[in-house]
C-alpha cells in the first residue's frame, strides 16, 4: 500500500503547467496592431470643417462630395483626383435635365480664394443645380 501512495504523490507532483506568457505576448501584439490601425481607418481624409449653424440634409447615394484638405489635395467621393479629372467626372456623371447638388468639404485652414474658385468652376458645369458647403455644427457633427 505504501508504494501506491508514493506513486500517487509522484504523479501529482509532476502535473503539467500551462504557460500564459505566449498567450499574453500574442494578445499584446494584437492590441498594439489595433491601436495603430484604427485611427488610420477612420481618418482617411482629414478635414477640419469650419463652424456653422445649419440643418442636416440626408445623404443619398447619388450625391457628389468634393473634399479639399489642408494640403489642397482634391477628393471626389473619397478618391483623390486632380482638378481636371474632377470637373470631367462631375460633368459626365450629371444629367443636365435633372440637376444635382455638389457638396464641398473644405478644411477650415484652406485659403478660401481657392475654395471659391473651385465652387465657381463646379457651378459652371451644366446640370449642377447648386453647390453646398459642408460646415461643422457647434456640437461637433457635420452638416451640409
Give me 94's grid cell. 450629371
Mean pLDDT of all residues belonging to the chain:
76
Q: What is the pLDDT of residue 129?
A: 79
CATH architecture of 64-143: 2-Layer Sandwich (3.30)
Handedness of CA 29, 30, 36, 37 (dihedral sign): positive
Q: Is residue 134's pLDDT more than 90?
A: no
Closest listed residue to residue 65, CA positions, set 105, 121, 106, 124: 105
Torsion of CA 53, 59, 62, 65, to 10 degrees: 40
Domain ranges of the chain: 2-42, 64-143
List pLDDT tens digits, range 82-126.
889 888 888 888 766 566 788 888 877 777 778 888 888 888 888
Amino acid at each position: 500500500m505504501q508504494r501506491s501512495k508514493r506513486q500517487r504523490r509522484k504523479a501529482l507532483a509532476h502535473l503539467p503547467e500551462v504557460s500564459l506568457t505566449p498567450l499574453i505576448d500574442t494578445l499584446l501584439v494584437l492590441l498594439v496592431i489595433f491601436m495603430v490601425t484604427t485611427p488610420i481607418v477612420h481618418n482617411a481624409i482629414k478635414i477640419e470643417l469650419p463652424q456653422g449653424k445649419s440643418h442636416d440634409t440626408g445623404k443619398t447615394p447619388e450625391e457628389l462630395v468634393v473634399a479639399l484638405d489642408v494640403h489642397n489635395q482634391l477628393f471626389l467621393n473619397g478618391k483623390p483626383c486632380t482638378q481636371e479629372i474632377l470637373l470631367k467626372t462631375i460633368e459626365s456623371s450629371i444629367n443636365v435635365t435633372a440637376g444635382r447638388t455638389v457638396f464641398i468639404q473644405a478644411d477650415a485652414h484652406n485659403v478660401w480664394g481657392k475654395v471659391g474658385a473651385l465652387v465657381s468652376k463646379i457651378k459652371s458645369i451644366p446640370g449642377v443645380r447648386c453647390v453646398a458647403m459642408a460646415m461643422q455644427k457647434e456640437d461637433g457633427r457635420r452638416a451640409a
